[in-house]
Structure formats: C-alpha cells, structure tokens
Amino acid sequence: MINFKRKRDYKLIALDFTWGFFALLVGSAIVYFGDRLLNVSLEVYFGISTFSPVWVLDLIFVPLVAGFFVSLIYGLGGKMLAHFAPLFVRLFGYYSIDTALFPSGVELLPIGYWILIVIVSMEAAAAGGLIGEFTIKKTYGRRPKHLIHKRYQLKNAENLD
C-alpha cells in the first residue's frame, strides 16, 4: 500500500529530477566541448593513425571528468546517472555526421565498433561518478547513522511506519 502521509515526497521527486536533468546537461556539455577542444571525432575512422594519444584522452579522460561533475552535482546516486552523459553526446555525434563530406580513405565506424567505443566511454564516466561519490561521502561503504549524508537522513524515521 502506498503511504500518502508525507506530501513533500512529490516536491522532493521533482527536485531530484531537476537536479538530475541539470547534471546530465552539464555532463553532456563537458563531453561535447571536450570533443571540440581536442578536435577529435570518435565516430570517424581514417586508418591506424586514428588511435592517437589525444583520441584515447578523448575516449577515457573527458567522460571521466564529466562523470565526476555529474556525480558532484546530483549527489549520491550520481554514478548511475553519469552513464548517460556520454551516451547522449555519442548518439548525437554518430547520427549527425554527414558522410558525403568525408575525403577519400575516411569512413564512419561500423555500428558494432562504435558501440564498443560508447561502452568504454560510458564506463569511464561511471568511474568518474564513483570518484565523485567518494568525494561527497569521504569514504566508500557503510557508515554510522550520524555520518550519513544529510540529504538522506530522515528526521522522523519512527513515524514512517
């Protein structure tokens, strides 16, 4: 049975969605502008010289930083939300490329290879989200009740039954 005694629940849920949406926007902006700053397009393949150190930096470090900031903005649970920032940017990038503008010898990555790149990018963002949660909680694992993050402490826990 659903407990309707606390009317603030709907406001808290709306606030969580707002912060989550804002965190995803910031994370996606970090990934997008990181791609533009490094001048790398992970969706394009032009031979073995594609895989440069800057390409690896864009694949791993940029989503890691984005995941860190998503987790810092959203709070606890941000490591799960951090997966989606690079996913949205990579989806947008893959489907917005115009292959008619490619010079000879340059091609769009096949969808199977591109999915592997997206998975690595998402996992790097999740690692950044985990680091962000470590930063918020100052440790990982279980904590005594008085050390739990203030946002998740219930003031009247005995009245919720």
Element (H, E) at 107: strand 107-108
- Residue 80: CB partners within 8 Å, gap ≥ 6? 126, 129
- pTM (2 d.p.): 0.78
CB 21, CB 84: distance < 8 Å: no
Give the span between the Cα atoms of 66 and 122, in whole angstroms.
10
List per-block mean pLDDT (blocks of 10 residues) for the chain, which spans 161 residues: 54 81 96 94 86 93 96 88 94 83 84 93 95 78 60 54 44
pLDDT at 141: 57
pLDDT at 1: 44
